[in-house]
Amino acid sequence: MEPFAAVDVIRSKRDGHRLTDAQIDWVVDAYTRGAVAEEQMSALAMAVFLNGMDAAETARWTAAMVDSGDVLALDVDRPTVDKHSTGGVGDKITLPLAPLVAACGAAVPQLSGRGLGHTGGTLDKLESVPGWRARLSLAEIQAQLADVGAVICAATEGLAPADRKLYALRDVTSTVESIPLIASSIMSKKIAEGADALVLDVKFGSGAFMKTLDDARALARALVSIGVSHGRRVSALLTDMSVPLGRAVGNAVEVEESVAVLRGGGPADVVELTLALAREMLALAGLSDVDPEGVLASGRAYEVWARMLRAQGGDPDAALPSPRHVHLVDAPADGVVTRLDAYAVGVAAWRLGAGRARKEDPVQAAAGILCHAKPGETVRAGDPVLELRTDTPEAVPSALAALEGAWAVGESAVDRGPLVVETIR
């Protein structure tokens, strides 16, 4: 016999009361095993969406989701530290960051996901590397961490199954935009990963999930609070996502840009954010005396990248997929690019085939967009501003429609704020 009735738990939160620890433990477990029906959890999620949860409730909800599955026991002789981004457009930072931090002496267990909608997925990007595989066993993850120092792979089925089930439900019941539910979803997976420390890249702006700095700050504080309550060392960087990060948006094209960074080049903003996150990760891992900029310049991070790919069956020397069709969008006049909206570029790349509308949809490895000019850069009439890449030329008109009004060329540059706005510890 169940110790609670789902309707009583729903009513309690509907009426604005705090859920008890026992209620939270039971409802998460009962939903995971099917004793609480989908419609009941939908009602509870909406009650949480409308009335919220306090910090203690959110921490307990997170713990219950962690306890619904496995927790990785990372037995390595290095400090373990992970990074999580709330998602954006052109956000390939995990690709150069994980091998860089590993080259600095930490172990980085990066369990990543796939893209959905206008935001890209790390696994989709890496799967454009011939032979690379996302799914690893726990034993393979452990062995690769010990040998290479970094692993980027899909989460195992046993990690936080309650979150996987609840996330799918929230997606179809308009209860995604709840800070307690977002924070517990992110942190349940990260805590189950087993790393000692975690750095969060919480983005705000048109291409981010959180559109305003205030909302991003509230989410960051919730995430840090949960991590601390679970004995983790956690910090969060608030970063601007109003303009695409770097010049590449898509899959193979973002891998190319990441390799350029690992070889000592790449766009300045990608390098800046990679180094900022690396320094924060190393500080939490007790390695603040290591200079990630020097390690990046030395080529050691690229060596770890190549070893990491090979360990998962990938060929770092193989040519990446190229698109069957390229369409250039040219500047209409001489001037300076004054605007390039991240959300519109993300939607356009998605429509070209770089993303998916449903989890089961395939993606095109070669699809994406190259931003030849970004805000503040000078162009002449006829210069390419955007390069649309796809294997399906019939997708170009819908991508162009998404970009309509999303970029502009004017007479003078518009000042942009800093990329990293604030750090919460």
| pTM listed for this prediction | 0.93
Domain membership of residue 61 (yes or no) is: no
Q: What is the pLDDT of residue 120?
A: 76
Three-state SS string over the chain comes to: CCCCCHHHHHHHHHCCCCCCHHHHHHHHHHHHCCCCCHHHHHHHHHHHHHHCCCHHHHHHHHHHHHCCCECCCCCCCCCEEEEEECCCCCCCCHHHHHHHHHHCCCEEEEEECCCECCECCHHHHHCCCCCCCCCCCHHHHHHHHHHCCEEEEECCCCECHHHHHHHHHHHHCCCCCCHHHHHHHHHHHHHHHCCCEEEEEEEECCCCCECCHHHHHHHHHHHHHHHHHCCCEEEEEEEECCCCCCCEEECHHHHHHHHHHHCCCCCHHHHHHHHHHHHHHHHHCCCCCCCHHHHHHHCHHHHHHHHHHHHCCCCCCCCCCCCCEEEEEECCCCEEEEEECHHHHHHHHHHHHHCCCCCCCCCCCCCEEEECCCCCCEECCCCEEEEEEECCHHHHHHHHHHHCCCEEEECCCCCCCCCEEEEEC
In this structure, is residue 282 part of a structural domain? yes
Q: What is the model's pLDDT at position 117?
A: 67
Active site residue 185: yes
Residues 183 and 272 in one domain: yes
Angle at which helices 300-311 and 252-262 cross, to 10°: 140
| Same-domain pairing of 283 and 349 | no
pLDDT at 113: 80
Average confidence (pLDDT) over 325-345 = 97
Which residue, of 311, 346, 366, is where some domain finishes? 311
Has residue 65 been placed in a domain? Answer: no
Asked if 91 and 222 sit in the same domain, the reply is yes
CATH code of 119's domain: 3.40.1030.10
- Among 262, 288, 311, residue at a domain's last position: 311
Confirm if 133 and 166 have CB atoms less than 8 A apart: no
Q: Which of 259, 285, 311 is the last residue of a domain?
A: 311
Catalytic residue among 13, 60, 83, 84: 84
- Average pLDDT of the chain to the nearest whole number: 94
Q: Does residue 40 lie within any of the structural domains?
A: yes
263 and 346 belong to one structural domain: no
Residues whose CB falls within 8 Å of the CB of residue 172, separated by 6 or more in sequence, listed in order:
none
Positive or negative, the CA dihedral 171, 172, 178, 183 is negative
CATH code (residue 10): 1.20.970.10
Same domain, 182 and 256: yes
Domain membership flag for residue 182: yes
In the set 163, 201, 240, 269, the catalytic residue is 163
Q: Which of 187-196, 311-320, 323-332 has the lowest mean pLDDT?
A: 187-196
Our answer to whether residue 18 is catalytic in this structure is no
pLDDT at 265 over 80: yes
Q: Report pLDDT digits (tens) over 23-79.
A: 999 999 999 999 999 999 999 999 999 999 999 999 999 999 999 998 888 889 999
What total number of domains does the chain contain?
Answer: 3
**Position 262 pLDDT exceeds 80:** yes
> With bands split at pLDDT 50, 70 and 90, how would you rate the model's confidence at 121?
confident
Tokens 């309509």 locate to 404
pLDDT band at 359 (very low <50, low <70, confident <90, very high): low
Residue 5 has what pLDDT?
Answer: 95
- Are both 183 and 275 inside the same structural domain? yes
Same domain, 367 and 235: no
Domain hosting 332: range is 325-410
Which tens digit of pLDDT belongs to each residue from 170-228? Answer: 878 889 889 999 999 999 999 998 899 999 999 999 999 899 999 999 999 999 999 99
Q: Which of 170, 233, 247, 327 is catalytic?
A: 170
Which of 60, 189, 190, 233 is the catalytic position? Answer: 189
In this predicted structure, the answer to whether residue 361 has a pLDDT above a threshold of 80 is: no
Question: What residues are paired with 329 via a beta bridge?
Answer: 386
Residue 116 pLDDT: 64
- 285 and 353 belong to one structural domain: no
Residues 353 and 249 both lie in one domain: no
**One domain, residues 305 and 395:** no
In a domain, 149, yes or no: yes
How confident is residue 244, by pLDDT bands cut at 50, 70 and 90?
very high
136 Cβ partners below 8 Å, 6+ apart? 144, 151, 153, 154, 312
189 included as an active-site residue? yes
| Catalytic site includes residue 230 | no
Q: Which of 185, 229, 242, 258 is catalytic?
A: 185
Do 307 and 330 lie in one domain? The reply is: no
Rounded to whole angstroms, how far apart are CA atoms 417 and 184?
A: 30
Residues 256 and 144 in one domain: yes
Query: Does residue 325 have an active-site annotation?
Result: no
Give the CATH number for residue 404.
3.90.1170.30
State the pLDDT at residue 82.
Answer: 95
